[in-house]
Amino acid sequence: MNLKILRVLTILVIFSSQVLADDDNKELSFYTGTFDVIDKEGDDKTTLFGIEHKNPDLFRDTFLGKFKPVSGAFITGNSSVYLYTGIEGQYGLGPLKILPSFTPGYYEKGDGKDLGSVLEFKSEIKFGLDIFENSKLSYSYSHISNNDWGDTNPGTDNQQITFSKNF
């Protein structure tokens, strides 16, 4: 196993155990999907695996809707890593949740796609469905880009399936 992947997985395990050890009210999500789904050359498209943390106690009701901080990380099959933190909105239509988010973060290309900068911005739209009490299954589509602040800005589009659980 690649040493970089082992380091990132270790960080993710420590992160998730630290999150679970804190207070009693939190949402932890695990997701998997496809990195660079619209890759025209076909050489950067790969899988991704990630973890995300949200604290429902930090919800803020505003005139634009409910918002809360979100933090997480993912690793791709090509050893690319993205660590991020930002904000997520929540809008509900019965059991259906619409969750747009914006999360700046640190990107390391590993053996994968060069996005042109270590500072990247992820915009995401997620559609979640309450499946059990305190559990949600979601589909999301995201775009990661550096807003032309880097040497290049090829960007990447990703899709994920997420399982979220409130603890």
Q: pLDDT tens, 48-105?
A: 999 999 877 777 788 888 899 999 999 999 999 999 999 999 998 888 999 999 999 9
Domain over 3-166 is classified CATH 3.30.70.20: no
Phi (first) and psi of residue 3, to 5 degrees: -60, -40
User: DSSP label at 109?
Assistant: -
Reported pTM? 0.83
- Long-range contacts at 3-10 (CB < 8 A, ≥ 24 apart): 4/79, 4/81, 4/110, 5/75, 5/79, 8/73, 8/75, 8/81, 9/75
